Amino acid sequence: MSAVGTRGAAAGPDPAAADAAAPDPAAALAPGPTAEAVPARNALARLVAVVTPLGRVVALAAVVAGAVGYALGWRELVAVAWTAAALWAIALLHLVGSSGVEVSLRLPRDRVVAGERAPATVAVRNPLRRRAVGLTVEVPVGSGLAEVHVPSLAHGQAHEDVFVVPTSRRGVIPLGPARIVRGDPIGLVRRESAEAAATRLLVHPRTLAMPSTSTGFVRDLEGRATRDLTDSDVSFQSLREYVPGDLVRHIHWRSTAKTGVHMVRRFEETRRSHIMVALSLHAGDYGYGAAAGPVADAVGAAGGTTVAAGSAAGALAGSTADVEFELAVSVVGSLGARAIVDARTLQVVASADRSARRARRLPTVSTLPGLARTVARPSPPGSRSARLRRLATVTRDRLLDDLAEIGASERAASLVELARAAADEVAGVSVVFLVCGTGAAPAAIRAAAVGFPPGVQVVAVVCDPEVEPGLRRLGDLSVLTIGYLEDLRGALQRSAS
């Protein structure tokens, strides 16, 4: 029993509520359903639930044809009535007994790159002593449906069928739960039972293997030692002979006294690299209209398994704006993956929903000594911290997992709002990549870049599939325009030169 609380409750009992709660003598004397009527009603409800719309039409036609045929003496209508009744009798025979078969849904890989082959296996086994016939296994695949027609299986027999999950587009594709469908060939009755748990397939964006560069490195005594040698640092490496032009203060006098030759100290250069990649999810930064949204995959067929096509949810599926956004996601994945491989400090942020309240992690002191905990407090919708979303950068797969789930939205923070929030939230950044589409005007890109402190290298990557790749410099800001993902490698090399 649960209690329901009310605001501003009265001090004493309510007479009207007491009268309403009193039992009604007439209702108490009213006859209820008998014990025999309840099972019959449940059986009737189960029978009605398995009847398809076509089955209802055939049943109604049988009743009407039989009544009219016998009343008017029309043999044709009587024949129609008995034919419909025979079809119904055959259809009900397909529902006799339970399926009892075992169904499993397997994915060899739960992560693939867009465009790769992603097979899924449906395995059916009959553990019963009787033969299993007339079974069909349906597997929801995104907005589509895969149908596996199972042949007749004797006791202990198994059947496997493979179908290909469509991976033409980046995204998260839910699969399952696999359900067994029993019914007659005509389609008068249909019974479903879920047999296998649901799973999902992550379709990662396509990425480009980027060469390791020195972009984003700044000299810092607290950074990491590199293999590059310098005459002034904190990580001592070796000694070398003095050459004209070396500073006298770099001479190691103790070694010079021992060898009789002027020796100069060499150090390993310590550098720090903190890269931030900011991806705008605002639909206006890519030329999307108000109806921007995720696009469903078109589903194909393979291996004799029928897969129905899903419907496109985005109004601009396949448009230039859609291509721009997918290219931008691939750029972020390529830059982030290269930084993770190079073991650089990396932050990948994306626009958050401006209307949502995001939980903010605030450190607090624990009641136990030596321990600390954090408390999540919602940030106000208008605050800058609520305008960005941090993506996972622990591993390459974790980053691509997050990129597979994102999409453009009109409610997402714009490029300027994202850059200002990122400049406030993330400190110590050495280089920032701002990734957007053609919807972001040059003035907006400049406004986004000025929010970062002096000394931070800002590179804007504009994705425009309709222009030639190029490089523009607006003061200290480098603006790269790329039309294909393969243009990114050359554009970064030109910007670093």
Instruction: Output the six-digit token pair for 249.
Output: 């203060």
pLDDT digits (tens, 9 = 90+) for 90-132: 887 777 655 678 888 999 999 999 999 999 999 998 888 888 7
Average pLDDT over residues 404-429: 90
Q: How far is CA 274 from the centre of its chain?
A: 27
Read out DSSP for 242-289?
A: --TT--GGGB-HHHHHHHSS-EEEEEEEEEEEEEEEEE--BGGGGT--
Are 375 and 365 contacting, i.e. CB atoms less than 8 angstroms apart?
no
Topology of domain 102-203, CATH: Immunoglobulin-like (2.60.40)
Distance in angstroms (rounded) separating the CA atoms of residues 93 and 23: 48
What pLDDT is recorded for position 15?
A: 41
Provide CATH code, domain 274-298+311-496: 3.40.50
pLDDT range class, residue 245, cuts 50, 70, 90: confident
What is the DSSP pairing of strand 431-437 with strand 457-463? parallel
Are 458 and 316 contacting, i.e. CB atoms less than 8 angstroms apart?
no
- Residue 275, judged by CB atoms within 10 A of its CB (0-12, 13-18, 19+), counts as buried
pLDDT at 440 over 80: yes
pLDDT digits (tens, 9 = 90+) for 348-390: 999 998 765 444 433 433 333 333 333 334 444 444 555 789 9
What's the whole-model pTM score?
0.67
pLDDT digits (tens, 9 = 90+) for 59-74: 898 899 989 989 988 8
Q: Where are the domains of the chain?
A: 48-93, 102-203, 224-273, 274-298+311-496
What is the DSSP pairing of strand 119-125 with strand 102-106? antiparallel
- Residue 487, judged by CB atoms within 10 A of its CB (0-12, 13-18, 19+), counts as buried
Cis peptide leading into residue 108 (ω within 30°) = no
What are the residues facing 190 on neighbouring strands?
A: 183
